[in-house]
Chains A and B, each alone.
Chain A
Amino acid sequence: MSTPTSERTPSPTRPRVTTRVLVLVGLGVSLLVAGLLSFWASGHPDGLEFVAGSLGFEGSARDSATAGSPFADYGTEGVSSGLLSGGLAGVVGVVVTAVVMFGLVALLRRRSSSRD
């Protein structure tokens, strides 16, 4: 590696990625992953489902109480196109997760700053 020193050690003058840009790019990537890339996800059973199937205890699984959710199993009720149905579910999941987690963090920050 013959990187010049100036590129290895960040100098105070080097323009750095702001937190806002980093978070916005990250959210954009997450939307693409959940809304589009997920369409090509493997449909095979996951490790636990596979083991449960091969050892014969998958039958003890019960349907979740939320199995009637319009987004159950990462599809959107009433949308027939697989790409659109899964993509919508992914986008909804990203938005809901963002609202809950950014909200929780804001709440924790407000409480700890009022204590200081």
Chain B
Amino acid sequence: MHVPDGFLDAPTSVGTAVVAGGVVALSLARASRRELDERTAPLAGLVAVFVFAAQMVNFPVGAGTSGHLIGAVLAAVLVGPATATLCLTVVLGVQAFLFADGGVTALGTNVVLMGLAAVWVGYGVSRAVVAVLPTRPASVPFAAAAGALVSVPAAALVFVGLYAVGGAAPIPLDTLATAMGTWHLLIGVGEAVITFLAVGSIVAARPDLVHLARGRMPALELRTPEHVA
């Protein structure tokens, strides 16, 4: 999904860069006020590293096409949406500057697609799904998988929207939307599987660290000497 330089014209790229800058500023404030505390902060570092690593592994989705994890919902469910935006921004920055993956002038576009659209659409879906599932940590990986599935085509359709505003080459938009939506729904299936496994592992090991599991922990039994006596 990494947009290279040149797909979108300069004004659109400037616009997405400004939006991305604003979103990152808001996310820094929200993450430090509401999401990162002493216990959960180390998980944020781990999530960014894992997302970088997993994004290197393209999986085939058929007809000579491949996809890789975005990790937006994986991050949002584990460490919160604002921290997820920061994780994705760090990963996209490292990829653009060190690995020439995703354009430098397209960095704002890529942050908007993967660090904003995929994070918040997917996280919104996961929140809605977890609300109707049984109140326990084991529900969280299923909600995460549902959000992950939706997050990839959502980001792809936001790209189509941006292309409608400032695409460099004239392409019929309905054709572009169909192609982007279909392929990225397929990639979304892979996203859902990887997200389920990764979130499931953390939920199994340390449900108390998982952002979306907050308020879903089994009530702890109080065993004080007074109760025993």
Encoded as 1 (CB less than 8 Å from any A CB) or 0, chain B from 78 to 121 comes to 00000000110011011111111111110000000000000000
A19 to B39, Cβ gap below 8 A?
yes
Q: Bound state CA distance, A33 and B179, in angstroms?
A: 30
Q: Quick check: A48 and B6 within 8 Å, CB to CB? A: no
With A and B bound together, what is the CA distance between A50 and B45 in angstroms? 32
Distance (whole angstroms) from the CB of A104 to the closest CB of chain B: 7
Cβ distance A109 to chain B, nearest Cβ, rounded Å: 6
Q: Is the CB of A46 within 8 A of B67?
A: yes
Given contacts A90-B56, A94-B52, A112-B32, contact A23 B99 (CB under 8 A): no
Chain A CB within 10 Å, residue with most, of B56, B86, B171: B56
Interface size range on B against A: 35 or more
Query: What's the Cα separation between A10 and B203 when bound, in Å?
Result: 12
A64 to B107, CA, bound (A): 11
Chain B residues near A44: list those with CB within 8 A.
58, 60, 64-66
Instruction: For chain A, give the interface size range.
Output: 35 or more
Residue of A nearest to B102 (CB): A64
Shortest Cβ distance from residue B142 to the other chain A in the assembled complex, whole angstroms: 15
Given the interface pairs A41-B56, A74-B101, the reply to whether A94 lies near B49 with Cβ below 8 Å is yes
The verdict on B74 contacting chain A, using a C-beta distance below 8 Å, is no
Q: What 0/1 readout, one digit per residue, does chain A (16-27) give for beta carbons within 8 Å of chain B?
A: 110110110011
The residues of A that contact B66 with a CB separation of less than 8 Å are: 41-47
The answer to whether A48 touches B180 (Cβ under 8 A) is: yes
Question: What are 13 contact pairs spanning A and B, CB under 8 A?
Answer: A23-B43, A26-B49, A47-B186, A48-B159, A50-B63, A65-B105, A69-B97, A69-B99, A96-B98, A97-B91, A98-B49, A100-B94, A108-B28
Please report A residues at the B interface, Cβ cutoff 8 Å: 9-10, 12, 16-17, 19-20, 22-23, 26-27, 29-31, 33-34, 37-38, 40-48, 50-52, 54-57, 59-67, 69, 71-74, 89-90, 92-94, 96-98, 100-102, 104-106, 108-109, 111-112
| For the complex of A and B, 3 pairs with smallest distance between CB atoms | A101-B48, A62-B6, A34-B53
Apart from A38-B57, A100-B90, 16 more pairs, CB < 8 Å: A9-B218, A19-B39, A19-B43, A33-B54, A42-B66, A47-B184, A47-B187, A48-B159, A55-B175, A55-B176, A65-B104, A73-B101, A93-B98, A97-B90, A101-B86, A104-B90
Binding site for A on B (CB under 8 A): 1-7, 28, 31-33, 36, 38-39, 41-46, 48-50, 52-54, 56-61, 63-68, 86-87, 90-91, 93-105, 156, 159, 167-169, 171, 175-176, 179-180, 183-184, 186-187, 202, 205-206, 209, 218, 220, 223
